[in-house]
Structure 1
Amino acid sequence: MSRRAVRRLRGEQRAQEEPGLGQLGLDSGSEGPSPAAAGRARRGPARTGVSNRFELIPAEESEDEPPSREEQADAWLGERDAAERSNEGAVTEEAEGDGQRDGEEAEQLEQTVTEPQPVLSNKPRKKKKKRKTKKTSSGETLEDNDLEDIDSLLEKMEDTNGLSQQSQSGLIADSRPLLYIEHRNLNPENELKRYFGARAVLGDQRPRQRQYVRSTWLTAPKNTWPRYSSTGITMQLLDTRRGAQHFTFKHHREYQQVQFKFLDAVESMDPNNIVPLLEALEPYHVDSLLQLSDVCRMQEDQEMARDLVERALYSLECSFHPVFSLTSGTCRLDYRRPENRAFFLALFKHLMFLEKRGCPRTALEFCKLILSLDPENDPLCVLLLIDFLSLRAREYTFLTRMFQEWESHRNLSQLPNFAFSVPLAYFFLSQQEERSEPELSQARERAAQLIQLALIMFPSVLMPLLDHCSVQPDARVASHSFFGLNARISQPPALNQLTSLYVGRTHSLWKDPAVMAWLETNVHEVLRMVDARDSLVEESEHKRKMRYQSAPRNIYRHIILSEMKEAMAALPLEVTSQPVMGFDPLPPLDSIVSYTRPERTNRPSNESTLSLFFRSLLPNFNLQADIRPDGEEEAGAGQDLNQGVNRLMAAMRDMLANIQFQEPPRDDNPEGDGDWD
């Protein structure tokens, strides 16, 4: 209760003291009502004669409810007022002393009066806490001590349960699916903020987003992009099999017409014919954006190339099915359908730009997304890339977990990249000091075992790897035939492509002196096994000869998209001889075609060389304009020849008549004394 309310009640009781005693049924000779009597008088049945209207406030309370703090305080204050009026002759100092004692006693009463009793509102309780903290220093000391006790308890809990919490979080991470994707890891700005800080990434100015821009997960739309509208691409749910949902993109009729014009522009071999499609017809045509991105990248315009790929991803994400999820890992797309290939290729190109930009963690998340769309077939063969991104992003646990879970049914150890990257991941785990000693020793043993198996299975990797790292091997390794030139010459061409791809991509991860020292120790151990004629060496040699005879089409597609010079040089002739388009490199041989391109009406193959020559000079000229369809006979073959010659002569006369010779400029001073140079 506030002091203002206390003073107001005190003044009311002073004004009503004389007439109120008889009406309340109290003795006029008594000095003042007792607190209990005052409480009973307020709650009793004889309330009709009450003159103080403030006493009617708790009228709705039940009769069996005990008196509240306010009622008891008011009664006690009334008694004190009567005592003060009986001592009117006292000095002012004594009255002031009594007033101070009244305040202290009132505070003691408020502290001792029924805290367990319920009240109608929480305001008195809050005010009591505020007065306690403001006036009493002992309360502050108690609160400070309580806070210190809480902090000390929390510190003890963190010290005792820190390891258990870390192990629990690790169990939660392991309980998730292997290809689980987090939305926050799809944004490269989050990774750049962790490296350089938010101010260095965003700058002082925050760009304003337009109102109509739709928020997406794969890319962040920019203000410089054209306004997005319906592009004619939709996503359709086909069926659900074995817990996986199979989707497909679908092109509407208007989008199909734009696709036909795009194919005509590609056949013209002129990139300038693709630009009008984006400007006039469809600014978010996906295949046109991907093809122009390759053109810009060849012209060293990396920023524009990356921007075009992001526009393509934005267009495709805006057409997602409501049930399609990026993070579940259970949504599938069939690469055999041409409508779905653009999404695979846009994700892969965006992934490569992110890796070059210095965002390996974000690139790894996109690589997991591509693999989750078709993990069985892996049309872009991202398994040849995911180990490199895991090592660069320092996600060693993910790489070792993937190897353990997929080795039994995918035979990952037969790929050179997994055979060498997994032991390297175990070696990096053995260098982490925060792990326990048993874990470190187990990681070291596992790393040594796997790297020795990799060197025995793929001996042709060692020398090119050392060459790229600018490391000169010792005399024993350089002179031994097991790692010599014969190992690279005798291996099949398909294996040569895989080893060249791995060495050209991941050689920078092996340049660490500690890694090189660990590799040297295991190389000498392998040479000891080779000299001892271990049976494992002969088995590995037999496997190399029987396997890797020819690479599947998805590996060729991956090498073309990766553009690794070492691997491109090892591609077979049947791949390099055929034209490769950036919007659909090496399409599957068993494609599922939903619509076909109509046949072209003109027949340039029927025209002669002379007709093509004059057509290049005169586009309107057609020597065979009057040729009738097959099966119809013409009367007089010489008549057609005469007509063709006449048209040719008429066209020549028309061309010569339109030729205008420009006269040389006249000199204003023909008799000038200038000399010829």
Structure 2
Amino acid sequence: MSSRQLRKLQKQRELAGNTDAAPAAEASSSEDDSPGPVPAAKPRVSLFAALGGDGDENGDDDDEPEEEPQPDSEPTEQQASQSAIKTSKKKKKKKKKAAKAKAQVEAAAENDDEDEIDKAILELKLAAPRADASTGQAQPEPQQRINELLSINTHHLRAINEMRQLFGREVIESAAAEEQREASNTRQRRGGQQNVDLETFLRGPPGMKKLPEVSLRRNVFIQGREHWPRATAGGLTMEVLEKRADGTTEYAYVHDNRYDAVQTFFFSCVQMGDPMRIVHLLAQVPYHVSTLLQVSAVAKQDQNMALSAELCERALFTFGRVATTAFRQDLERGKARLDFRRPENRQLWLAGYHYLRSLIRKGTYRTALEWAKLLFSFDHKDPYAMRHFLHFLAIRAYEGQWLVDFIEELERTSDNRDTAYLRQSLVLAKLQLKDTEGAKAELRAGIQRLPWLYCALYQELNLDAPPSIWGVSADTDARSFWTKLYVYQTKDLWNNTATLSLLQQVAKSLDKVETAQLPASDAPPDLGATRLAYLEGQTSIIAAAPREYLDMQPNYEFDPLPPPEEDNIFTGDGCRMPWRDRNSSTRAMDNQMEAQLRALIERQQARLQAGRANNNGQGGGAGLAGIPPDDEENAELDMLDMDDPELRQDLEEHARRANAPGIVQTLMRMLRGDGAPEEEYAHEGEHEPAEYAYHDDSDETPGEGPPGAWPS
């Protein structure tokens, strides 16, 4: 109840009290003067009726009538009674009219006030949608939708969570305990040996300091491992560069002077072509990302896939430990952005790609899908062509509806013409969703649009091509590239009873496809797709990739096929080293770097000699490295083992042969086929098995169940 209504009620109460008191006083005086008939009692006024404003419509008075004072000459009793009644009626009418007029005035005033309040509230309500509308204009609906599709659930970034769901918590814990016991027994057996394997050396001696439990578990990317050494990130940090109008935020990883110096030394070690130099460097800077990725490649060549994946995990752990809380929040909403032109950021893509491959090898497809979404969300230009992972991983992870939404949104927001190939996986997605009619429609349109793709798919599945597409093959390098890439990734997904039956049914029902009415060629692969093919290592796919991208220099394993130098954003000399021209103008910079390294050698000579003297009696990791383990968190750079005549000689030789290519470039030229016949390059490894398989060539029988199901 408003304050105005309360005041009105109070006035009416006072008025009712006054009218009650007047008749009582007159009645008492008349009783004292002369006895007479007692007037009939008037009914009391209801206070609730007063809230109505105008009183009762039946003529009941709101107030008691006032009686006329008795005159000196008393009239007869009947006359007095009639006179009192007339007077009372006149006063009641006047009072009623006045009260009604007063109530109307107050109601009008109150309504005016309420109208003003309503108008203000209405304006406020209208103002809020206008603000939202302006925000909606700054962030268009398609951009908002793609952000929603690429939002990340950090629970799915941990492979251990999916493995527990697949195999059970008890099985995983018992397997981890067994692995720990085997590792402990191995260290005990090799305790007295001077030479140890790479994995044992990188673990360090028993009893060394470990990272805090909080740091291991509260990482946005990777849950750390207990045996990882205790050390800082070495000068790697994260900064916020820009908060954009579309609601996204651009972040960047930054190297400080300390980290940049290690990066420079790392590049020198790569140029020397000695893998053990890089392994020694990693022992001193255990969280230097480029070194971790390079040693991961060394472990892969040593056929130690578990160690290779673990080193990629440690690189991702390093990125995660310096990430900010705001970055994690934007990451979960699909609004975190990284610029691929920054070499510091590119290391995250490379580490994520290699870790993604290890997840596929283990069969943890749901986790792999989340990582592919993560890498795509950082830059929608897709520098690592993650879209060519997302389509088949979504089928493997039984995320068919997500794939349908993603492909449709990708076609609206992207100008990549290769989405026509990705769209063929919607046939598999709709079969998973029990939408057989939708799958038939997609398959019919796909065969008519890409007949060469389905002809190649028939060949890979050991089926006879139907007349509608028989003899149609990819007639350009672009079509050959996209066809080989798609078939390589999805062959096993099509090899099941339901899909093969639908494929043969629809293909046989179509007339001969008229290829003359189709586009002359498809869009050539961009640099991102070429980078993906290069990393996959399938020579049959690389042979169809654009040569101008494959011949780009520099091209190192720690930064494959980077953008041209003018497109990069450099913030330090360490990341610029691969692009430095080897001529007289930069030779002085080489000499300056060599002088700095020599100063480091002299500064650490006494300390390293003392460390070796203390380490002579230890077995563990002394044999491989010949250096003491590092127990200090901030001693990564100071403990570089450069007190070595052979290392000095290598550095001097590196300065003298500045124009000579390193071993990595030589290997790259061998892979590209420079100096080898083109025919040999085109067919070399055509049928060799991939390092990790999307399909099992030994099982030629179609699988049961929907696409993406585990083999029985």
Coarse TM-score class (shorter-chain normalised): 0.5 to 0.7
Residue 231 of structure 2 is aligned to residue 228 of structure 1: yes
Pair 212,229 (structure 1): closer, same or farther in 2 beyond 3 Å: farther
Distance 1:212 1:455 in 2: 55
| Greater relative contact order structure (CA < 8 Å, 6+ sep) | 2
* Residue 285 (1) aligns with residue 288 (2): yes
Q: Is the 8 A contact 2:240 2:250 kept in 1?
A: yes
Structure 1 pair 554/176, CA: closer, same or farther in 2 (3 Å)?
A: closer
Equivalent residue for 1:552? 526
**Equivalent residue for 2:76?**
none
Is 1:461 the counterpart of 2:464? The answer is no
Matched, 1:190 2:161: yes
Counterpart position of 2:315: 312
Secondary structure of the equivalent of 2:428?
A: helix
Contact 2:293-2:351 within 8 A present in 1 as well: yes
Report matched runs for 1:115-194 at 5 Å: 177-194=148-165
For 1:418 and 1:383, locate their aligned partners in 2 and report how far apart those are by CA, in whole Å: 8
Q: Matches of 2:302 and 2:545 in 1, distance apart?
A: 24
Quick one: which of 341, 344, 350 aligns to 1:336? 341
Please report how far the alpha carbon of residue 202 of structure 1 lies from its aligned counterpart in structure 2 after TM superposition. 1.4
Following the alignment from structure 2 to structure 1, what is the Cα–Cα distance between the partners of residues 175 and 508? 56
1:595 to 569, 572, 576: 572
The code of the aligned residue for 2:166 comes to Y
Alignment of 1:537-576 (within 5 A): 538-539=516-517, 541=518, 543-545=519-521, 547-548=522-523, 550-576=524-550
Distance 2:393 2:403 in 1: 10
Q: Evaluate the alpha carbon distance shift between residue 392 and residue 565 of structure 1 in structure 2; reply closer, same or farther with a 3 A threshold.
A: farther
1:348 to 350, 353, 356: 353
List aligned pairs for 1:473-484, cutoff 5 A. Answer: 473=464, 476-477=466-467, 482-484=469-471
Is the 2:233–2:318 contact (alpha carbons within 8 Å) kept by the matching residues of 1? no
Instruction: Quote the residue 2:478 is aligned against.
Output: 494
Paired letter, 1:349: H
Q: 1:288 deviation in Å?
A: 0.8
Write the letter of the residue equivalent to 1:591.
N
Whether contact under 8 Å (2:211, 2:228) holds in the other structure is no
Match of 1:387 in 2: 391
Question: 1:576 deviation in Å?
Answer: 4.2
Select which of 206, 215, 220 maps to 1:217.
220
User: Aligned partners of 1:567, 1:266: CA distance in 2, in Å?
Assistant: 28
Q: Please state whether the residue corresponding to 1:385 is helix, strand or coil.
A: helix
Q: CA deviation at 1:179?
A: 1.0
Deviation at 1:565, TM superposition (A): 4.2
- Displacement of 1:332: 0.3
Q: 1:459/1:336 Cα in 2 relative to 1: closer, same or farther (>3 Å)?
A: same
Q: Which residue of 2 aligns with 1:586?
A: 561
Aligned residues of 1:427 and 1:447 also touching (Cα < 8 A)? yes
User: Given the superposition, is the C-alpha separation of residues 416 and 562 from structure 1 closer, same or farther in structure 2, using an over 3 Å criterion?
Assistant: farther
1:271, CA displacement in angstroms?
1.3
What amino acid is the match of 2:528?
Answer: N
* Residue number in structure 2 paired with 1:238: 241
Q: Deviations over 1:24-47 (max 9, x none)?
A: xxxxxxxxxxxxxxxxxxxxxxxx
Choose the corresponding residue for 1:506, options 476, 484, 490.
490
Give the Å deviation of 1:467. Answer: 2.8
Return the TM-score normalized by structure 1.
0.56
Q: Is the 8 A contact 2:341 2:563 kept in 1?
A: yes
Code of the aligned partner of 1:188: A
Structure 1 residues 199-208 or 350-359, which shifts more?
199-208
SS at match of 1:223: coil
CA contact (8 A) 2:530 2:546 kept: no
Q: How does 1:388-537 map to 2 (within 5 A)?
A: 388-410=392-414, 414-430=418-434, 443-469=435-461, 471-473=462-464, 476-477=466-467, 482-484=469-471, 486-488=472-474, 490=475, 492-526=476-510, 528=511, 530=513
Greater Cα offset, 378-387 or 595-604: 595-604
Question: 1:263 is matched with which residue?
Answer: 267
**1:303 partner letter:** A
CA–CA distance in structure 2, aligned partners of residues 373 and 379 of structure 1:
10
Cα shift at 1:583: 1.3
1:363 & 1:339 partners in 2: Cα distance? 23
Task: Give the conservation status (yes or no) of the 8 Å contact 1:384–1:417.
Answer: no
Letter paired with 1:582? E
CA contact (8 A) 1:347 1:370 kept: yes
The structural deviation recorded for 1:619 is 6.2
| RMSD value, Cα | 3.1
Alignment deviations for residues 61-97 of structure 1 (CA, whole Å, 9 cap, x no partner):
xxxxxxxxxxxxxxxxxxxxxxxxxxxxxxxxxxxxx
SS of the equivalent of 2:237 reads strand
SS class of match (2:149)? coil
359, 362, 368: which is aligned to 1:357? 362
Q: Distance in 2 between matches of 1:307 and 1:250?
A: 24
Task: State the 1:339 CA deviation.
Answer: 0.9
Q: Distance in 1 between matches of 2:298 and 2:427?
A: 39
- Structure 2 stretches lacking a partner, 5+ long: 1-144, 182-209, 578-585, 592-644, 656-712
Aligned AA for 1:368?
K
**1:410 positional shift:** 2.0
Q: What is the letter of the counterpart of residue 586 of structure 1?
A: L
Change (3 A) 1:600 1:411: closer
Could you tell me how far apart the structure 1 residues matched to 2:393 and 2:479 are?
22
- Structure 2 length-normalised TM: 0.53
Distance 1:399 1:275, change over 3 A: same
Alpha-carbon separation, structure 2, partners of 1:419 and 1:189: 31
Give the partner amino acid of 1:332: R
Q: Distance in 2 between matches of 1:290 and 1:195?
A: 29
